[in-house]
Amino acid sequence: MLDSRTIQVIKSTIPLLESAGPALTQHFYQRMFKHNPELKDVFNLAHQHSGGQPVALFNAVAAYAKNIDNLGALGSAVERIAHKHTGFLIQPEQYAIVGSHLLATLKELGGEAVTEEVLTAWADAYGFLANIFINREAQIYQESAQQDGGWSGVREFIISEKKAESLEIASFVLTPVDGKAVKDFVPGQYLSIKAQHPKLAFDEIRQYSLSDAPNGQSYRITVKRELNGQVSNLLHDVLQVGDTLSVMPPAGDFTLAVQAETPVVLISAGVGQTPMKSMLNQLLKLKHPNTVTWLHACEHGGVHGFKSAIKNKLGQHANLASHVWYREPTKADVLGQDYDFVGTMNLNSVADKIVANAHYYFCGPIGFMASIKQQLLAFGVPSEQMHYEVFGPHAEL
């Protein structure tokens, strides 16, 4: 445990951190990639360019400093980050590299306020937290390797099916090259894909939600084509059935966990429906006895993925209901057939589905999820019955 003086010194640096803001972590990443360019094969450089990763790291560092005397408050964040790290195959020795650049950044940007005592305190605090992550990630690695169909590190998978689900998204069924079983996962989790291709300057690792129920033989991911997405465009335009990908075991802490008597509401916008689809398929596969409600929002019918699949399931499962919002339907879209409401998702339109004892899982753009959370709170839904996933660097709603 950290001693009281270390805790006191760390908390005294909070004003320094807040005054520096994300510029602190931007400097950190620039410094680290300059001195350790090999890490460009590990980190998602798209998130560096967008600024999302530096902001997420700054928020994490600030939260650690503010809760240094109450680390239990960071338990969920630690679990989420540990799962993310295993998807990038982070190893203990890399924590030492990160720690050295973090301390150097504090010294370079903090001026006279960063004394030797401050550096020592942050070195101790960082080392303490790093050990928590190292131990938890070792457990995740071990659990993944020991499960039936599990493995450690990367495993080669072949693209056995490729299917366009809409104008923007495509599904890829991945089957192991060795022909052996694959470990089960919990719906809501994701696969980490390591892409290596002459079109890429570096190895690129991306994490894509699994979009089907576990079957022990293959995985399915569904990927949105991003405007400047190196890996998403590679998957959509270049890689075909028969090509191979290096894959890490399923991971993630956004997972379906409900009792049989619990109503479930799955809420999504755009490609956020991918983890919802995995949850839906699992609930129906297991014949969930209570109601399951599918609420989805998108721009128009051209980008409405899984439309036919959901309609087919509605005809097969009496406890399943679906409601869809199109923000700007086209002339080809038919009200009552392709969609139910125009505009952004307003839960007042389906107030009878927002019940007190249900659990709500939602995924989509940050603004969409923030709106859904506020709407659910207005209905009196307790926050502990809301579960959400942010694609990319985490952000609070």
Q: What is the pLDDT along the chain (397 residues), one digit of tens a residue?
A: 789 999 999 999 989 888 888 888 888 889 998 999 888 877 765 555 555 667 777 778 888 888 888 877 777 888 888 999 999 899 999 999 999 999 999 889 888 888 999 999 999 999 998 999 999 999 999 999 999 999 999 999 999 999 999 999 999 999 999 999 999 999 999 999 998 888 888 888 999 999 999 999 999 999 999 988 889 999 999 999 999 999 999 999 999 999 999 999 999 999 999 999 999 999 999 999 999 999 999 999 999 999 999 999 999 999 999 999 999 999 999 999 999 999 999 999 999 999 999 999 999 999 999 999 999 999 999 999 999 987 755 556 5
Long-range contacts of 337-341 (CB under 8 A, 24+ apart): 338/301, 338/304, 338/307, 339/301, 339/304
Structural contact between residues 287 and 315, judged by C-beta atoms closer than 8 angstroms: no
| pLDDT value, residue 40 | 80
SS3 of residue 169 by DSSP = strand
The set of catalytic residues is 95, 137
One-character DSSP codes across 256-314 = ----TT--EEEEEEGGGHHHHHHHHHHHHHTT-SS-EEEEEEESSGGG-TTHHHHHHHH
Half-sphere exposure of 168 (CA within 13 A, CB side): 18
Q: Which long-range contacts (CB under 8 A, 24 or more apart) does 335-342 make?
A: 338/301, 338/304, 338/307, 339/301, 339/304
Distance CA 141, CA 136 (A): 9
Query: Is the Cβ–Cβ distance between 2 and 124 less than 8 Å?
Result: yes
Task: State the binding site for NADP(+).
Answer: 270-275
The model carries a pTM of 0.89
Query: Which amino acids are annotated as binding site, given as ranges?
Result: 85, 190, 206-209, 270-275, 390-393
Spatial separation of the C-alpha atoms in residues 361 and 98, rounded to whole Å: 34
Residue numbers in the known binding site for FAD are 190, 206-209, 390-393
Burial of 355 (0-12, 13-18, 19+ CB in 10 A): middle
